Structure 1
């Protein structure tokens, strides 16, 4: 990468906001952080858009002045980070942004030669919320959008890993998806299938029961037939064992009622 003398720039928005230049953390004020994050997530934007996004409570003149000062201070502290084209501002394409890198990785996940990357992508995304502690409306919207992206990525990883016989990664990815959306039937099914393939019918049954109880409690519904069919042999065996644990009473004083066989 041609750095034009400015060095390598990396911006992290997942887990926490962090800007690094040649591996050294660059500390910038909160106002500049918000501008840099907006350009990283939204892409090139007109100044009029940015002032409404970042300073919606300010009069136009004051908001424009705040933007001007933020651009000036950022450009002085980290030259080359922001591309100033008058009315249009953008983040330099030399900046590596973790959100963009992960989304690009996710887009290529299904292509040949990307199998090994699934576990790595899962690790990067599992506990990586977008800009935690930021509560502006536009950030909350982007957090929700990324959450849906994470759900889809985890589900895709689980399905692909299951097909390739990597049941450990499949189970971990499906569990991460269920952690985001416990009632997502596709993710629950993938988790059950992964646990069964790993030889863990007990874990598969526990996943099913958690799903069944929450689905019934929240929506008054039972699991769909395809989900129940995944566990049909396990459920039948559980019922058979339960019946076998009941044996006829042998003593008259029990009145012929069955007792639990504790052996």
Structure 2
């Protein structure tokens, strides 16, 4: 959307916008030559730079303020709103929270990033998807641990179950869930969760749980 109107751009221009938007999570701008090479790796340097020039021209025709361009560097403009940037800000605020009142939004509302640019299989996009997915899992885990520490056990269980459902072999998430059951006094539920995890871990990876996780349950014997 540009000034509340939908802008239609060709695919090569959309790829440039997507790359610049996502790469701004790590760095403010990109070298033009590197950007051209990254987005058109099968073309010659001259041809890839020409493709980049055309894409930038199409973007600037739609709105000259969307990208900042000079002879060496190109970047998405600072005042362009990018959903992924807001997602990262919220996730980082959840990770920094020490009480539920510190949450910028309910952690359960942190969206999944598996549908980020669906149908695209760019190598650079696969890496960003995985980075954001891991950030979300860490934020949900931390949010559940904070809720547990402040006695909000049902909300904590609902939250951590999202992580366990997505990554059942993730021991840190299993530990939060087991600890929450124990905080509620539900030793049987904690033991059942632990036993199910041990069985799954062995069947899938032929691994045993860490001594730290085993020690959590040992206190209940």
TM-score, normalised by the number of residues in structure 1: 0.71
Q: 2:87 aligns with which of 74, 87, 102?
A: 102
Does the Cα contact within 8 Å between 2:98 and 2:146 map onto a contact in 1? no
| Aligned residue pair count | 216
Q: Secondary structure at the match of 2:106?
A: helix
Higher mean C-alpha displacement, 58-67 vs 95-104? 95-104
Give unpaired runs (5+ residues) of structure 2: none
Higher strand share: 1
Q: Distance in 2 between matches of 1:50 and 1:173?
A: 39
Q: Distance in 2 between matches of 1:167 and 1:119?
A: 18
Q: 1:185 aligns with which of 171, 184, 191?
A: 171
Cα displacement string for residues 33-92 of structure 1 (whole angstroms, at most 9, x for unaligned residues):
110111111131011011111100111111111111110111111331111122211001
Q: Distance in 2 between matches of 1:188 and 1:87?
A: 48
Give unpaired runs (5+ residues) of structure 1: 1-19, 237-263
Q: CA deviation at 1:128?
A: 4.8
Q: CA deviation at 1:183?
A: 2.2
Q: CA deviation at 1:188?
A: 0.2
Aligned to 1:64: 49
Does the Cα contact within 8 Å between 2:66 and 2:76 map onto a contact in 1? yes
1:42 and 2:27 are equivalent in the alignment: no
Q: Distance in 2 between matches of 1:121 and 1:172?
A: 11
- The 5 A counterparts of 1:1-263 are 20-43=1-24, 44-109=29-94, 110-111=96-97, 115=101, 117=103, 120-126=106-112, 128-197=114-183, 204-231=190-217
Q: Distance in 2 between matches of 1:132 and 1:224?
A: 36
Q: Secondary structure at the match of 1:89?
A: strand
- Relative distance call for 1:114 and 1:209 in structure 2 (3 A) is closer
- Relative distance call for 1:192 and 1:27 in structure 2 (3 A) is farther
CA-based RMSD: 2.7
TM-score, normalised by the number of residues in structure 2: 0.82
Higher mean C-alpha displacement, 208-217 vs 92-101? 208-217
Q: Distance in 1 between matches of 2:215 and 2:67?
A: 55
Q: CA deviation at 1:231?
A: 4.7
Q: CA deviation at 1:201?
A: 5.7
- Relative distance call for 1:210 and 1:126 in structure 2 (3 A) is farther
Q: Distance in 1 between matches of 2:103 and 2:114?
A: 17
Q: Distance in 2 between matches of 1:140 and 1:156?
A: 25
Larger radius of gyration: 1
Q: Distance in 2 between matches of 1:197 and 1:22?
A: 50
